[in-house]
Each structure stands twice: as structure tokens, then as C-alpha cells.
Chain A
Amino acid sequence: DSGVTQTPKHLITATGQRVTLRCSPRSGDLSVYWYQQSLDQGLQFLIQYYNGEERAKGNILERFSAQQFPDLHSELNLSSLELGDSALYFCASSEPYTGELFFGEGSRLTVL
């Protein structure tokens, strides 16, 4: 158990819909990272938050957005969903001094 909690574990929805994925980092970790894992693209970094503020942005689509709340949990919002958004979405938090990332078990999104 990494200590990072993601919900839901599985989600099936239709094209055009909007979903929200939730992540609770390990106790004491201030950074949250979101990654997308798909068969064709591999693991792609989407976005990072540090103590409530956006720190870095990767290959995140404009239809996607994220935020980190005062209690440090984070949400990834995916809107106007397309078939190609079907993927496993991972959240991770980082140990502040070593930089080791701890990953949650992921949320598997299926868009039909």
C-alpha cells in the first residue's frame, strides 16, 4: 500500500460526458502528480500541483483540468470525453526530500 488513494477504481461513461477523478496523497506529501497510461502513448505526465498551486504542466489537453484543495487532495476533471481518453489515470505524491514518487492504484476510465 503506497498510501496514495484514488477513486473511483473503474469508471465507464459515454462520449461527450464529464468525469472527476479524485486523489488523496500520502500524509505529509505536498505534491500531487497526474499521469495518463494508455497502450499507445505509455505513461504521460499531465500536471503537478504543489501545496495548492500548479507547479508543472505536461501533455494535458485543454478539455482536462485539475486542482488541489487546502486539505491537499486533488481532482482531475475530464470533459467532452472522447473514445481516445480511455486510459488508466494515475495519481502520485512525492516524498519531499528524495523525490521518490508514490503511485496510487489508478482509475481506469472507459469511454464508450
Chain B
Amino acid sequence: GNSVTQMEGPVTLSEEAFLTINCTYTATGYPSLFWYVQYPGEGLQLLLKATKADDKGSNKGFEATYRKETTSFHLEKGSVQVSDSAVYFCALSDPESGAGSYQLTFGKGTKLSVIP
């Protein structure tokens, strides 16, 4: 079955530090890949996505590249801010879901804390 593995947290960084959160996946077929962010007390929000190999998703300074050869989708940001403190989830959509169905398989989440 499909699975997503992301690095365990929590991760604590100082403001302006470089961020990498590793994510690898196992899937049959060609899934789309996503990063979602969950701020305290809120639901998940889509941060970025990539739908095919070598695609780069980017948003709010975050980037991730769909690497089919290494089955990875690592999240990076060059300079984190205190406001980036949240839980980050890597996810894939099941390519076998069928038209109109986008059930996601999530990693366990990585909690990021950015200190001033």
C-alpha cells in the first residue's frame, strides 16, 4: 500500500536558519505529492504541491521537488521566521483513487518551532 515517511520532530531552529524536512514515499503508479501545514488550533492548509516527476512546488518561500528516482519530496526554506512555527505534513494522493477522488495518505507530521 501507499505510505509516507517524514523525519521525526520536533525541529527547533533560530530565526533566519535554513530548514529541511525530509519526506520519502512508497506508492504504486505516479502519485501527486503535497505539503500541508497546520498552525496551532487550525485545520490543515495546502502549502505546496507537485503532480509529476521533477516538478517543483513553491509557496511563501518554501520549496519541494518531486524526485521520482529517490521517491522523495523534501521541504526546504532558506530563512525561517517565527511565524513558520507549525506542524508540517507530507502527503500523497492515491493515483488509483479514480476520477474525482483525492484521498491522501499523510506522514506523521513534523513540528517546527522557530525561536527569535
0/1 interface trace, chain A 100-112, chain B, CB 8 Å (1 if under): 1111111000000
Whether A42 pairs with B45 at a CB distance below 8 angstroms is no
Interface of A is mostly: strand
B33 to chain A minimum Cβ distance, whole angstroms, is 12
Q: Which residues of A contact B43 (CB under 8 A)?
A: 2, 4, 90, 92, 103-106
Q: Which residues of B contact A50 (CB under 8 A)?
A: 100-101
Specify which of A31, A43, A100 is in contact with B106 (CB 8 Å cutoff): A43
Q: Which residues of B contact A102 (CB under 8 A)?
A: 46
A56 to B36, CA, bound (A): 21
Count how many chain B residues have C-beta atoms less than 8 Å from C-beta atoms of the other chain: 23
Contacts A42-B108, A43-B89, A103-B43 given; indicate if A96 touches B100 (C-beta within 8 A).
yes
A105 to B107, CA, bound (A): 19
A64 beta carbon closer than 8 Å to chain B: no
Instruction: For B100, give the chain A residue with the smallest CB separation.
Output: A50
Whether B100 pairs with A31 at a CB distance below 8 angstroms is yes
Q: Which residues of A contact B44 (CB under 8 A)?
A: 43, 90, 92, 101, 103
B12 beta carbon closer than 8 Å to chain A: no
Contacts A45-B104, A105-B41 given; indicate if A99 touches B46 (C-beta within 8 A).
no
A55 beta carbon closer than 8 Å to chain B: yes
A2 to B45, CA, bound (A): 8
Q: Which residues of B contact A90 (CB under 8 A)?
A: 43-44
0/1 interface trace, chain A 25-42, chain B, CB 8 Å (1 if under): 000001101000000001
Q: Which residues of B contact A16 (CB under 8 A)?
A: none
Whether B102 pairs with A101 at a CB distance below 8 angstroms is yes
Contacts A4-B43, A56-B97, A105-B42 given; indicate if A31 touches B102 (C-beta within 8 A).
yes
Identify the B interface with A (CB < 8 A).
32, 36, 41-46, 49, 89, 93, 97-98, 100-109
Identify the A interface with B (CB < 8 A).
2, 4, 30-31, 33, 42-43, 45, 48, 50, 55-56, 58, 90, 92, 94, 96, 99-106
